[in-house]
Amino acid sequence: MPEGNAVHRTAGILQRELGGRVLSASSPQGRFAAGAELLDGTRLVRSEARGKHLFLGFAPPGAAVGPEDEPPRWLHVHLGLYGTWTLGTGEPPEPVGALRLRLVSLEDGLDDPDEVRWADMRGPTACEVVTPEGVDLIAARLGPDPLLGDDPAPYVERVRGTRTTIAALLMHQDVISGLGNIYRAEALFRARLHPYAPGRDVPAPVLLALWDDVSVLMREAVERGRIVTTDPADRHGPGPKGRGLDHYVYRRAGLPCRICGTPVATAVLEARNLFWCPRCQAA
């Protein structure tokens, strides 16, 4: 259930665990059988993320693919809301349920069964084999990604050019890519921005500060494997168990704002739940 941070993290893990290896690919569920066949027996040579999209580059096992060479074939994955990767070492477990794709390392001469690596993927919204041009086509639909160190100018320009609310725009992947519902709510709170402010009314320096803020937060989350947006000084007081102190307003409807105590407000915007503090984020 990833926002951009989790996708970038997964890309790194897959690169580390399976990168450079020849893999078997299968679709126990059957729904990706044709695609898996195209990848079966090829080598994973690249693992990259852009926004919430994951791209795995594959090349024939014998081909010399250097850092500059473009893999001829890519697996494009978008996990959507339910999708998930599960990785492991050793003998992969018997496939259970709707297993869309299984990748298993196939190195000749490996005696140690623990050196077998596998990766299972379930429930993705998108899972397809595409050409390099196909990758470009998908990337062209995406706005700048804070985790890639992109130039934020196009994002600022898009936001400043419309009356659409800032809360809606932060979720539009063609405006800024990688943010999801948690970062939307938390970044707006940290900026003390009202979610319904029209994009054109938000000053460019404020938009740039928000960009810088999520860049740092998301980078931390890639390392940590978990989204924490509260500053340490604000991480106090009674709260739900577990991750209850990680956020300022996300999923805290009706609970007191960590800063001012006002009950956190909620509304549905473009079919997604929105959370904000009506006092700290005054109109």
Catalytic residues: 2-3, 52, 272
Instruction: Identify the residue among 12, 13, 24, 31 touching DNA (CB under 7 A).
Output: 31
Tokens 């941070």 locate to: 5
Q: Say if CB 42 and CB 90 are below 8 A apart.
A: no
Comparison of 47 and 177: residue with beta carbon closer to DNA: 177
Instruction: Identify the residue among 28, 35, 51, 199 touching DNA (CB under 7 A).
Output: 51
Q: Does 147 bind DNA (CB under 7 A)?
A: no
Instruction: Identify the residue among 62, 97, 205, 237 touching DNA (CB under 7 A).
Output: 97
- Which residues on adjacent β-strands are paired with residue 96? none
Q: Does 123 bind DNA (CB under 7 A)?
A: yes
* Interactions with DNA, residue window 65-94 (CB under 7 A): 78, 80-84, 86
- Which residues on adjacent β-strands are paired with residue 263? 256
Instruction: Identify the residue among 15, 24, 164, 181 touching DNA (CB under 7 A).
Output: 181
Q: Say if CB 280 and CB 234 are below 8 A apart.
A: no
How far is 77 from 30, CA to CA, in rounded Å? Answer: 17
Distances (CA, A) of 153 to 54, 138, 215, 283: 24, 20, 14, 25
How far is 249 from 232, CA to CA, in rounded Å? Answer: 15
Residues near DNA, by CB under 7 A: 1-3, 6, 29, 31, 51-52, 78, 80-84, 86, 97-98, 100, 122-123, 125-126, 171, 173, 179-182, 227, 240-244, 251, 271-273
